[in-house]
């Protein structure tokens, strides 16, 4: 037993020593690689910066690791620039063949290489790579798909919007990445976003509603108006918020009706929706909403705050008629049904 | 030849600005944090300072305030170069004593023009 114990101790001790040595060796080797990489970056960076003056020559002669490092430096630099300098550098990259290499690299065997390629194409705003990047939304690697979506947002072609929305809807790309990409495309994305209001996934409808409100896309108002009665709470809230930003007066009565129903309940069923309604009424600016907003004061902190801010936006109010008169028949049935969690047939 | 001190923790931004300003014929000194920037300002006596805002150890805003309280450096033009783009941020920047405020992402040639204009005015 004594011998077996001693042998075990020796084996354990040797293993520990070997482990320690390998950890130290890895650190030393890793540190050397990092310093070598930094030296390479310092060496290559001036060649890339020459591109700011439209000089692609220094980058033309690069190949292999040096070309990869140059492309990595450019990918980091480009988003920090704007104006003519950015355009010059992007053009220099094109002339140096980096854009074409990146397009080919979208089909490389290694996912990391495909991802870096997508990042460079996005940073350079390479519109010529749009088709390749759209295909990359179907890549089997999640990182590549995310980088492709980001790149499409940076390039900003409205034609990319349906594919981005589809990637959002079937969860191929994280929601915040697609939302950011669509935001970068800007108001030109709006027409292609309206159909997304009626797609399957809750997050798709929610994001589409928020963006359409941000873009001020008035043609979306009728569809958003219908979504105030959507069966999903988050969709209802996003639709109300969007309508508030659009400021379309004809949508105020429905929003007021929802708020009035919520306030009439003994326990406020959905404070977020009530607050969104109050805010939207302030943004739309119909002074007839004032009495209803005053009723909302004192009903939970969030609702009171939103109502108070809305009243401040409406300014001094002399409102002879309330926006929603219970005697005229508020659409309480759909509101009650949806807030009870049951689907409602399409309301217009 | 004017001496410009560039203080930014982003190595690429510093390299970019150095490249542009050296092309314009300026001497460029670079530091990567607020404390280093302040020390370099006191040692180098630059003709102009380009300051990032968000930096380790001391922010660009704090450096700007210190420069304005230093009898030898209070007149040195300062350009804040920052990603902070809200109206309130701009107001804070000027209140701290900045002479100009540029938001990132930025145009290096525009920065160069602003540096040139401030240097010219400061020589009068």
User: Model confidence over A124-157: pLDDT tens digits?
Assistant: 999 999 999 999 999 999 999 999 999 999 999 9
Does residue A53 surpass a pLDDT of 70? Answer: yes
Whole-number Å distance between alpha carbons of A275 and A303: 4
How near does any CA of chain B get to the CA of A215, in Å?
20
Chain A environment of B110 (Cβ under 8 Å): 83
Across the interface, whether the CB atoms of A83 and B10 are under 8 A apart is answered no
Average pLDDT, chain A: 88
More confident residue, B59 or A200: B59
CA-nearest residue to A43 within chain B is: B15
Tell me, what's the pLDDT at A52?
85
Tell me, what's the pLDDT at A348?
35
Tell me, what's the pLDDT at A58?
83
Nearest residue, CB atoms, A85 vs list B10, B13, B109: B109
Whole-number Å distance between alpha carbons of A123 and A86: 10
- Asked if residues B94 and B51 have their Cβ atoms less than 8 Å apart, the reply is no
What value does the mean pLDDT take over residues A105-128?
A: 96
Least confident of A210-219, A324-333, B101-110: A324-333
Q: Does residue B45 come out as left (phi exceeding 0), alpha (psi in the -120 to 50 range) or beta? A: left
Q: Does residue A347 come out as left (phi exceeding 0), alpha (psi in the -120 to 50 range) or beta? A: beta
User: Model confidence over A35-50: pLDDT tens digits?
Assistant: 888 889 988 998 999 8
Across the interface, whether the CB atoms of B107 and A73 are under 8 A apart is answered no
Token pair for B108: 């290096």
Does residue A97 surpass a pLDDT of 80? Answer: yes
Nearest residue, CB atoms, B13 vs list A52, A80, A86: A80
Chain A environment of B109 (Cβ under 8 Å): 83-85
Note every long-range contact of A167-172, with CB atoms under 8 Å and residues 24 or more positions apart, other chains counting. A167/A137, A168/A201, A168/A203, A168/A204, A168/A207, A169/A196, A169/A199, A169/A200, A169/A201, A169/A204, A170/A201, A171/A201, A172/A137, A172/A138, A172/A145
Tell me, what's the pLDDT at A347?
38
Tell me, what's the pLDDT at A64?
85
Tell me, what's the pLDDT at A187?
96
Nearest residue, CB atoms, A77 vs list B12, B23, B109: B12
Residues of chain B with pLDDT under 50: none
Interface test with chain A among B16, B21, B32, B83, by most A beta carbons within 10 Å: B16
How near does any CA of chain A get to the CA of B12, in Å?
7
- Asked if residues A220 and A242 have their Cβ atoms less than 8 Å apart, the reply is yes
Half-sphere exposure of A211 (CA within 13 A, CB side): 30
Predicted TM-score of the model (pTM): 0.81
What value does the mean pLDDT take over residues A320-333?
A: 53
Whole-number Å distance between alpha carbons of A250 and A307: 20
Tell me, what's the pLDDT at A330?
46
User: Model confidence over A285-307: pLDDT tens digits?
Assistant: 998 999 999 999 988 889 999 99
H or E stretch including A15?
helix A2-49
Residue with tokens 């409406």: A314
ipTM confidence score: 0.90
Nearest residue, CB atoms, A82 vs list B16, B23, B106: B106
Whole-number Å distance between alpha carbons of A216 and A211: 8
How near does any CA of chain B get to the CA of A304, in Å?
27
More confident residue, A256 or A335: A256
Across the interface, whether the CB atoms of B108 and A81 are under 8 A apart is answered yes
Nearest residue, CB atoms, A52 vs list B10, B104, B108: B108
Across the interface, whether the CB atoms of A81 and B106 are under 8 A apart is answered yes
Chain B environment of A80 (Cβ under 8 Å): 10, 12-13, 16, 104-106
H or E stretch including B101?
strand B100-103
Q: Please, which residues bridge with residue B80 across strands?
A: B51, B101
- Over pLDDT 90: what percentage of chain A? 68
A322: helix, strand or coil:
coil
What value does the mean pLDDT take over residues A105-119?
A: 96
Does residue A329 surpass a pLDDT of 60? Answer: no
What value does the mean pLDDT take over residues A224-243?
A: 94
- Do the strands B48-51 and B100-103 form a parallel or antiparallel pair, or are they unpaired? unpaired
């Amino acid at each position: 037993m004594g011998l077996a114990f001693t042998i075990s101790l020796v084996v354990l001790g040797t293993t520990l020593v070997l482990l320690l040595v390998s950890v130290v060796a890895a650190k030393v080797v890793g540190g050397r690689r990092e310093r070598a990489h930094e030296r390479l970056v310092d060496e290559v960076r001036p060649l890339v910066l020459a591109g700011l003056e439209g000089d692609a020559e220094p980058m033309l002669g690069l190949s292999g690791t040096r070309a990869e490092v140059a492309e990595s430096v450019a990918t980091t630099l480009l988003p920090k620039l704007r104006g003519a300098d950015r355009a010059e550098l992007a053009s220099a990259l094109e002339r140096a063949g980096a854009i074409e290499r990146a397009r080919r690299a979208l089909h490389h065997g290694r996912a990391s290489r495909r991802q870096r390629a997508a990042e460079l194409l996005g940073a350079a705003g390479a519109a010529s790579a749009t088709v390749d990047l759209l295909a990359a939304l179907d890549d089997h690697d999640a990182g590549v798909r995310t980088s492709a979506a980001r790149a499409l947002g940076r390039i900003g072609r409205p034609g990319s919007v349906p594919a981005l929305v589809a990637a959002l809807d079937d969860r191929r790309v994280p929601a915040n990445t697609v939302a950011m990409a669509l935001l970068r495309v800007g108001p030109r994305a709006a027409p292609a976003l309206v159909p997304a209001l009626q797609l399957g996934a809750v997050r798709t409808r929610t994001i589409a509603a928020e963006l359409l409100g941000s873009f001020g896309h008035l043609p979306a108002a009728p569809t958003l108006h219908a979504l105030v009665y959507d069966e999903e709470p988050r969709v209802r809230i996003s639709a109300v918020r969007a309508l508030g930003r659009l400021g379309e007066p004809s949508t105020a009565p429905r929003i007021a009706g929802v708020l009035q129903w919520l306030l009439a309940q003994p326990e406020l069923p959905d404070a977020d929706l009530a607050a969104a309604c109050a805010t939207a009424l302030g943004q739309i600016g119909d002074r007839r909403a004032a009495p209803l907003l005053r009723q909302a004061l004192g009903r939970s902190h969030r609702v009171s705050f939103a109502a108070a801010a809305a009243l401040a936006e409406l300014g001094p109010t002399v409102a002879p008629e309330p926006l929603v008169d219970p005697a005229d028949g508020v659409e309480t049935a759909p509101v009650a049904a949806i807030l009870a969690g049951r689907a409602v047939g399409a309301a217009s | 030849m004017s001496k410009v001190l560039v203080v930014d923790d982003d190595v690429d931004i510093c390299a970019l600005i150095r490249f542009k300003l050296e092309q314009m014929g300026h001497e460029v000194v670079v530091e990567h944090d607020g404390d280093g920037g302040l020390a370099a300002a006191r040692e180098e006596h630059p003709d102009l300072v380009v300051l990032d805002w968000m930096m380790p150890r001391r922010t660009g805003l704090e450096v700007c305030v210190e420069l304005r309280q230093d009898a030898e450096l209070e007149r040195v033009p300062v350009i804040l170069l920052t990603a902070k783009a809200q109206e309130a941020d701009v107001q804070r920047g000027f209140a701290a004593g900045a002479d100009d405020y540029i938001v990132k992402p930025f145009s290096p040639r525009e920065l160069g023009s602003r540096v040139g204009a401030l240097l010219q005015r400061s020589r009068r």
